[in-house]
Amino acid sequence: MSSKKNQEKSIPKTRLGRFGQIARLAGGVAAGMIGEGAKQLGQGKRPKVSDLLLTPANARKVANQLATMRGAAMKVGQLLSMETSDFLPPELADILAQLRNRAFIMPRAQLIDSLVKAYGEDWQAKFQHFEFEPLAAASIGQVHRAVTLDGQDIVLKIQYPGVAKSIDSDVDNIATLFKVTRILPKHMDITDLLKDAKLQLHEEANYLQEADYLEAFRSALDGQKNYVIPKHYPELSTERILAMDFLNGEPIESLGELDPSLVDNLMTAMFELTFKELFELRLMQTDANFANYLFQHDTHKIALLDFGASRRFSKRFAIDYKRLLRAVAAGDSAAIVLAADNLGYKASEASTEYQEFLVAVFSIALEPFSKPGLYDFKTGQLSDRLSQLSQDGYSFKEFWQTPPTDILYLHRKLGGMYMLATRLGARVNTHALASPYLEKLAL
């Protein structure tokens, strides 16, 4: 395990400084290509340019630099890892996957500078205690525990310096890097993904907006027995710092030793929340990172911790997704293609073979909601089956596209729920949970 000192890295704050990181990364990738090419030529091989680009060493350079920069640069890497990994070369997918749970922490000097800018030189006078060692670090900011003057145990989510101002340039620089180095396959058009990433990241970087989402979820889930949401402290919150209750609990992914019936109930509550978010609130916390959920043993409640990646869905999108679920449940291939069209896949413009491939993908991906009775996520092996099927996707490169943006974020959440249910060995009657919403199209 790395020491704290090794985990600390100063964050480049200026646009020029962050561009310099990207330029050095491009140079490093190029140097890696030259070195690997010389090595293979010395062995009597004639390597392809694509083979030199996608070496584990070059992919590692990309992942490490994105983690160092944090912010939009790291988030783009995470999105590519989570949403397109089945279509990436294994070397790149494996390394980018590290970004899901990886981030360096701010040096103390940068941390104190952020606190001074938010609260003034006497920032410590606002707290009985402030813990300099962060509880967690992610792509946008890190979390510190503190005690208010009246004794409330809270956490402060503190944004990395320069992140908000660098979003547009970071995303543009990353797009340029991918284009120049050809680190992604030619058929992958991530233009729409990057455009939406800018909008989403600007919202995530505004902690006052996240506070509004937090309050919306507190209001919507008030009185429900399965969930607890932290209280917001507006007097200690700014656009770059969010103050909330500290909530105790055990990391949700570590609960495999619990009584199986308790695990099943836990995951039932998680899927109930997902359907409520999509079809009732049309507001979803789309980041299914396991660290965003804690289980409280004394109350059997799930603590919901992070609302920065919340996304609103239109009424039309929710209805169109109902159509897709109903088509999959009915096993109606033509209706699946039509529903995919309505959601933005342009499926009907593709070949019959590609339509059949897309139907197969949706049929597996949404299988838990189409099969009556308890669904065993461990034996369902959804991830393995989708990964195996995705190999056929290379036969349809001319039709393949990054998913429509709303689908991308929704499936990010569903994929996280599947992964958690599989890890815990949960069995959930997801069909019964979905059925009341699918009985009629109206919301």
Write out the E strands in 67-205. Answer: 127-130, 136-137, 141-148, 153-159
**Residues recorded for the chain:** 443
Element (H, E) at 243: strand 241-245
122 is catalytic: no
Say if residues 327 and 254 touch (Cβ distance below 8 Å).
no
Q: Which amino acid would we find at residue 3?
A: S
Radius of gyration in angstroms for the set of CA atoms belonging to the chain, rounded to a whole number: 23
Measured distance CA(364)–CA(377) in Å, rounded: 12
Region label for 44, one of left (φ > 0), alpha (ψ between -120 and 50) or beta (otherwise): left
The C-alpha atoms of residue 314 and residue 342 are separated, in whole angstroms, by: 13
- The rounded distance, in Å, linking the Cα atoms of 10 and 22 is 15
Q: Could you tell me which of 396, 387, 388 has the C-alpha nearest to residue 356?
A: 396
Instruction: Answer yes or no: are the C-beta atoms of 96 and 61 closer than 8 Å.
Output: no
Q: Helix (H, G, I), strand (E, B), or coil: what is residue 375?
A: strand
Encoding tokens for residue 158? Answer: 């503190």
Q: Quote the CA–CA distance of 134 and 115 in Å, as a whole number.
A: 14
Name the 3-class secondary structure at 97. Answer: helix
Tally of helices (H runs) and strands (E runs) in the chain: 19, 13
- The sign of the torsion formed by the CA atoms of 311, 346, 85, 20 equals negative
Q: Which of 170, 196, 264, 287 is catalytic?
A: 287
| DSSP of 337-349 | HHHHHHHT--GGG
* CA–CA gap between residue 81 and residue 99 (Å, rounded): 8
136 near 291, Cβ under 8 Å? yes
Which candidate, 234, 227, 228, 229, places its Cα nearest to that of 211? 234
Apex CA 291: angle with CA 142 and CA 143, to 5°? 20
Tell me which residues are annotated as active site.
Answer: 287
